[in-house]
Amino acid sequence: MVAVLLERIGLALVTMVIIAVVVFFALDLMPGDACSVTLERGASDSMLAACHARLGLDQPPLWRFITWAGDFLRGDLGISMQRERPIAEIVGWRLRNTLILAGVTSVIGIPLALGLGVLAGLNPDGPLDMAISGVAIFAMTVPEFISGTLMILLFSVVLGWAAGVVTIGYKAPAFELVKASILPAATLIFILAAHILRMVRASVIEVMQSDFVQMARLKGASRRRIIWHHVVPNALLPAISIIGLTMAWLLGGVVIVESVFNFPGLGRLAVDAVADQDLPLVQAIALLFGFIYVLTNLGADLLALTLNPRLRARRR
Amino acid sequence: MRVGRTPFALPQVLRDVLAQGSGRLGMTIVCLHLAVAVAAPMIAPQDPAVQDAGAMLQSPSWAHWFGTDRLGRDVFSRTLLGGREAMLIATLATVIAMVWGSALGILAALIGGRTDALVMRFVDAMMSIPWILMVMLFVAALGSSSAALVPVLGFSYGLSVVYLARAAALDFVARDFVVAAQIRGHARWSIALTELLPNVRDSLAVQGAMQWSWILLAVSSLSFLGMGVAPPTPDWGQMIADARGIMQRAPWALIWPMLALSSLVIGMNLAVDAWARATGVDRNRRVPGA
- DSSP3 helix / strand / coil % (chain A, rounded to 5): 80, 0, 20
- Residues A310, A313, A315, A316, CA torsion sign: negative
Quick check: is B134 in a domain?
Answer: yes
Helix (H), strand (E) counts: chain A: 14, 0
Shortest distance, CA A221 to any CA of chain B (angstroms)? 32
Q: How far is CA A250 from CA A296, B62, B69, B126, in A?
A: 11, 43, 32, 16
The ipTM estimated for the assembled molecules is 0.82
Q: Using one digit for the tens of pLDDT, what is the confidence trace for B185-229?
A: 888 888 888 888 888 888 888 889 989 999 999 999 999 988 888
Shared domain for B190 and B135, answered yes or no, is yes
CB contact under 8 A, B224 and A145: yes
pLDDT of residue B34: 92
| Domain range enclosing B270 | 17-45+69-82+240-290
Quick check: is B5 in a domain?
Answer: no
pLDDT (average), residues B240-260: 84
Mutate to test the interface with A, among B222, B225, B227, B259 (most CBs of A within 10 A): B225
Quick check: is B77 in a domain?
Answer: yes
Quick check: is B59 in a domain?
Answer: no
- Of how many residues is chain B composed? 290
CB contact under 8 A, A248 and B248: no
Judge whether A279 is closer than 8 Å to chain B, CB to CB: yes
pLDDT of residue A167: 73
Tally of domains in chain B: 2
pLDDT at B233 over 90: no
The size of the A-B interface in CB pairs under 8 A is 141
Quick check: is B50 in a domain?
Answer: no
Shared domain for B88 and B78, answered yes or no, is no
The C-alpha atoms of residue A9 and residue A3 are separated, in whole angstroms, by: 10
**Closest-approach residue (CA) in chain B for A274:** B140
Q: Using one digit for the tens of pLDDT, what is the confidence trace for B13-68?
A: 888 888 888 889 999 999 999 999 888 888 877 777 777 777 777 777 777 777 77
Shared domain for B35 and B146, answered yes or no, is no
3-state secondary structure A158-169: HCCCCCCCCCCC
Q: In the listed set B198, B213, B233, which residue is the last one of a domain according to the structure?
A: B233
Q: In the listed set B187, B216, B233, which residue is the last one of a domain according to the structure?
A: B233
Q: How far is CA B40 from CA A84, B44, B90, B146, B260, in A?
A: 47, 5, 18, 20, 13
Shortest distance, CA B243 to any CA of chain A (angstroms)? 10
Quick check: is B168 in a domain?
Answer: yes
pLDDT at B278 over 60: yes
Shared domain for B223 and B185, answered yes or no, is yes
pLDDT of residue B287: 45
Shortest distance, CA B183 to any CA of chain A (angstroms)? 26
Shared domain for B285 and B224, answered yes or no, is no
CATH classification at residue B198: 1.10.3720.10
Shared domain for B254 and B228, answered yes or no, is no
pLDDT of residue B285: 52
**Residues in chain B whose beta carbon is closer than 8 A to a beta carbon of chain A?**
121-122, 124-134, 136-143, 217, 220-221, 224-227, 237, 240-241, 244, 247-248, 251, 254, 258, 261-262, 265-266, 269, 284, 288-289
Shared domain for B90 and B227, answered yes or no, is yes
Quick check: is B254 in a domain?
Answer: yes
Residue A277: phi and psi, rounded to 5, are: 55, 45
What's the farthest any 2 CA atoms get from each other in chain B? 77
Q: How many CB atoms lie within 10 A of CB A272?
A: 15
Measured between beta carbons, which residues in chain A are less than 8 angstroms from residue B226?
271, 275
Give the DSSP letter string of A178-215: HHHTHHHHHHHHHHHHHHHHHHHHHHHHHHHTSHHHHH
**Coil/strand/helix, residue B68:** strand
pLDDT of residue A316: 42
Shared domain for B74 and B174, answered yes or no, is no
Shared domain for B144 and B219, answered yes or no, is yes
Q: What percent of chain B has pLDDT over 70?
A: 94
Closest CA to B234 of B37, B35, B17, B3: B37
pLDDT of residue B97: 95
User: What b/e readout covers A8-31, taking b as 16+ CB neighbours within 10 angstroms?
Assistant: eeebbeebbebbbebbbebbeeee
pLDDT (average), residues B104-114: 90
Cβ B280 vs Cβ B3: under 8 Å: no
Residuewise pLDDT in 10s, chain A (316 residues):
778 888 888 888 888 888 888 888 877 766 666 666 666 666 677 777 777 776 667 777 777 888 877 877 777 777 776 667 778 888 888 888 888 888 899 899 989 999 999 989 888 888 888 898 888 888 888 888 999 888 888 888 778 777 777 777 777 777 777 877 888 999 999 988 888 888 888 888 888 888 888 888 898 888 888 888 888 888 888 777 778 777 767 877 888 999 888 888 888 898 888 888 788 888 888 888 888 888 888 888 888 888 877 766 655 4
Measured between beta carbons, which residues in chain A are less than 8 angstroms from residue B237?
145
Provide the residue type at B153 as one letter.
L
Shared domain for B286 and B161, answered yes or no, is no
**Coil/strand/helix, residue A79:** strand
- Residues A18, B114, B93, B210, CA torsion sign: negative
Shared domain for B113 and B216, answered yes or no, is yes
The C-alpha atoms of residue A72 and residue A75 are separated, in whole angstroms, by: 5
Q: In the listed set B188, B204, B233, which residue is the last one of a domain according to the structure?
A: B233
Cβ A230 vs Cβ A144: under 8 Å: no
pLDDT (average), residues B117-140: 82
Quick check: is B24 in a domain?
Answer: yes
Residue A270: phi and psi, rounded to 5, are: -60, -45
Shared domain for B120 and B221, answered yes or no, is yes
pTM (two decimals): 0.85
**Coil/strand/helix, residue B59:** coil
Cβ A270 vs Cβ A282: under 8 Å: yes
